[in-house]
Amino acid sequence: MSEPDIDALAARAAELSAALETAGDLVDPAVAARAEHDIAAVAARLELGADRTVVALVGGTGSGKSSLFNAISGLAFADVGELRPTTEVAAACVWGGDAEALLDFMDVSHERRIQRESVLDADRERALRGMVLLDLPDHDSIAVEHAQQVDRLLPLIDLLVWVVDPQKYADSALHDRYLKALARRRENMLVLVNQADTLPPAAGERVRDDVAELLAADGLPGVRVLLTSALEHTGIGEVRKVLGEAVGRPSVAVRTAAAELDAVAARLEPATGRGPGELDDPERATAALSRAAGVEAVAASARSAVAAPAGGAVASPEPPADAAVAAVRDGWLARAQEGLPARWAAAVERAVAPPDRLGAAVAQAVAEVPRPPSRSTTGWRLLIVAGVLTAAAVAYLVVALLAGLGWLAAVGPAVLALVLAVVLVSRSGTVRGRDAQAAAEKYRAEARERTAGVVDELLVRPTAEVLDRHRTLRSALDA
């Protein structure tokens, strides 16, 4: 995968936050709030530009973060103390220029900001130009707001420097709550085993190997582990070298932002689900509902009535049975809710009309369709003409015979008229059959169309509205 650029990432952050807004309360508000915060943090970080690298010292209370902050910066700015926890709020040191916007966003107070600019040692500090070093409160003391500060700032940090002490490096809060969850950021992570001076000379390497093994077990293989002593200033040169290399890589910020957005998307995944495929074919619901409203029965009775020589009775549509409507609605919902988490599934259910409204709307729509005729007018007329012709032929035959006309003169026209009458009768049958078919079809088509209108209004559109929101979020997550 090619490396995303800062604009592409900013666009992705914007898309994610817009999608979250569209989804509204369909994503658990707590999950959404965290995602929104993290996205805003990434956006703020991206705004600062890729030429800055935000490095933070994080770890348990008393591990030596503030002492390392001072050792790395060569300043005595951070409070180092015996009272635990010592650092209540974040402090920042900026190498070259300022980072006001970012530090504002991070809520680093103005008194806790310092710039590392010195003409005297400009050369020595050149490698770190662009670095923003943060000393953070601990994540593990009784002060919960400390952990909250750390959590809030994590998405903004390009390079995480975990500071552990030789006694507490296996602490489960550190591994379970942080390291495992940050596996995707392992390339921009560094672990310092501080207070190395408290270890017997030979033990340092063993502790370092131990830490590396634990990291690998956390899903963070290959993370650099260094031994330091802030007190004796050992290992600090090496740390500065590693930081200098990171600061020199302009892609750190971009990669971290990309990883953070991936993490946001991953956390939203369970709140979104893969979601439904296609909407069920509305035709199916339409056919079932119109059948339940008696449309097929009306059409069938119209077909036999119109086909009958003298017509017949045509059935009336009736309100669909509750059970039938509920079955159609349930089937529709089941398809639409496939693969959706509970909140989304419930929203689909809420969006579509309840069964009684659906049933009433179908009944009304079908009732408004003009009833089919009960006989074929043309067919009926043809039969009358045939009857008249037959009567006329008989009358003519009687009169002609009484008048003494010859058999040929009497019978010829009568037979002709009777043949014509037979033709008309047969024609009437054909016409009635055709009209019967047409009447049934016309009624069925109109009733179906009306029912389809109801299905569209009460099932399809409300469902599509929810699923569209889902699709927007889904595609933002997959981007």
Ligand X SMILES: Nc1nc2c(ncn2[C@@H]2O[C@H](COP(=O)(O)OP(=O)(O)OP(=O)(O)O)[C@@H](O)[C@H]2O)c(=O)[nH]1
Q: Does 117 bind ligand X (CB under 6 A)?
A: no
- Name the residue nearer to ligand X (CB basis): 203 or 323: 203
- The reply to whether 17 sits near ligand X by the rule CB under 6 A is no
Find out whether 24 and 470 touch, Cβ atoms under 8 Å.
no
Under 8 Å between Cβ of 24 and 469 = yes
Work out whether 320 is an interface residue with ligand X (CB under 6 A). no
**How far is residue 433's CA from residue 25's CA, in Å, rounded to a whole number?**
58
Instruction: Report what 140 binds from Mg ion, ligand X, none; CB cut-off 5-8 Å by kind.
Output: none
Query: DSSP readout, 406-461?
Result: -HHHHHHHHHHHHHHHHHHHHHHHHHHHHHHHHHHHHHHHHHHHHHHHHHIIIIIH
Residue 198 in contact with ligand X, rule: CB under 6 A? yes
Per CB under 6 A, does 231 bind ligand X? yes
Among 26, 62, 106, 259, binds ligand X (CB under 6 A): 62
Minimum CB separation from ligand X for residue 188, in Å?
Answer: 21
Can you list the alpha helix ranges (DSSP code H) found in 312-376? Answer: 322-337, 342-351, 355-367
For residue 230, the partner it binds in Mg ion, ligand X, none, with Cβ less than 5 to 8 A by kind, is ligand X
Q: Which residue in 53, 66, 149, 451 binds ligand X (CB under 6 A)? A: 66
Per-residue x/- mask for ligand X, residues 141 to 180, rule CB under 6 A?
A: ----------------------------------------
Which run of H or of E encompasses 311?
Answer: none
Residue span 68-97 as binding mask against Mg ion, x where in contact by CB under 5 A, dash where not: ------------------xx----------
Instruction: List the Cα angle 115/119/120 in 5-degree steps.
Output: 110
Measure the CA–CA gap between 187 and 332, rounded to whole angstroms. Answer: 48
From the CB of 114, what's the least distance to ligand X, in Å?
16
Question: Which DSSP category does 129 fall into?
Answer: T
Is 278 a residue that touches ligand X (CB under 6 A)?
no
Decide: is 87 part of the binding site for ligand X (CB under 6 A).
yes
Site for Mg ion contains 67 (CB under 5 A): no
Contact between 80 and ligand X per CB under 6 A: yes
Least separation, in Å, of the C-beta of 38 and ligand X?
Answer: 23
* Given 26, 45, 50, 67, the residue binding ligand X (CB under 6 A): 67
Rule CB under 6 A: is residue 81 a binding residue for ligand X? yes
Strand partners for 189: 160
Task: Tell me which of 12, 45, 65, 129 binds ligand X, using CB under 6 A.
Answer: 65
- Shortest spacing between CB 148 and Mg ion, in angstroms: 16
Shortest separation between residue 249's beta carbon and Mg ion, angstroms: 27
Give the nearer residue to ligand X in terms of CB position, either 194 or 451.
194
Q: Which of 99, 179, 187, 86 is nearest to 135 (CA)?
A: 86
One residue of 63, 66, 149, 290 binding Mg ion per CB under 5 A: 66
- Is 86 a residue that touches ligand X (CB under 6 A)? yes
Q: Specify the stretch interacting with ligand X by CB under 6 A; choose among 75-83, 90-98, 104-112, 328-336.
A: 75-83
Q: In sequence order, what are the residues at sequence separation of 6 or more whose Cβ sits closer than 8 angstroms to the Cβ of residue 338?
A: 276, 277
Distance of CA 345 to the CA centre of its chain: 12
Q: Does residue 237 bind ligand X (CB under 6 A)?
A: no
Please tell me the distance from the alpha carbon of residue 328 to that of residue 284, in angstroms, as a whole number. 9
Sign of torsion over alpha carbons 39, 41, 44, 49: negative
Cis amide bond preceding 85, omega within 30: yes
Binds ligand X by CB under 6 A, chosen from 17, 53, 188, 194: 194
- In the bound state with ligand X, the residue whose beta carbon lies nearer, of 15 and 135, is 135
Query: Which stretch in 37-45, 109-117, 191-199, 326-334 sits in contact with ligand X by CB under 6 A?
Result: 191-199
For residues 318 and 322, give the distance between their C-alpha atoms in angstroms, rounded to a whole number. Answer: 12
Q: Which does 195 bind (CB under 5 to 8 A by kind): Mg ion, ligand X, none?
A: ligand X
Q: How far is CA 382 from CA 374, 379, 432, in A?
A: 16, 5, 10
* SS3 letters across 153-192: HHHHCCEEEEEECCCCCCCHHHHHHHHHHHHHHHHHEEEE
Residue of the chain from 15, 38, 125, 138 that contacts ligand X (CB under 6 A): 138
Q: Is 438 exposed, middle or buried (0-12, 13-18, 19+ CB in 10 A)?
A: middle
**Binding segment for ligand X among 64-72, 151-159, 281-289, 392-400 (CB under 6 A)?**
64-72
Q: How far is the CB of 37 from Mg ion (least distance, A)?
A: 24
- The residue with tokens 């379970």 is 176
Footprint (CB under 6 A) of ligand X, residues 326-355: none
Find the angle CA(329)-CA(335)-CA(336) to the nearest 5 degrees.
Answer: 85
Query: How many angstroms separate the CA atoms of 31 and 49, rounded?
Result: 28
**Contacting positions for Mg ion (CB under 5 A):** 65-66, 86-87
**Contacting positions for ligand X (CB under 6 A):** 61-67, 80-82, 84-87, 137-138, 194-195, 197-198, 229-231
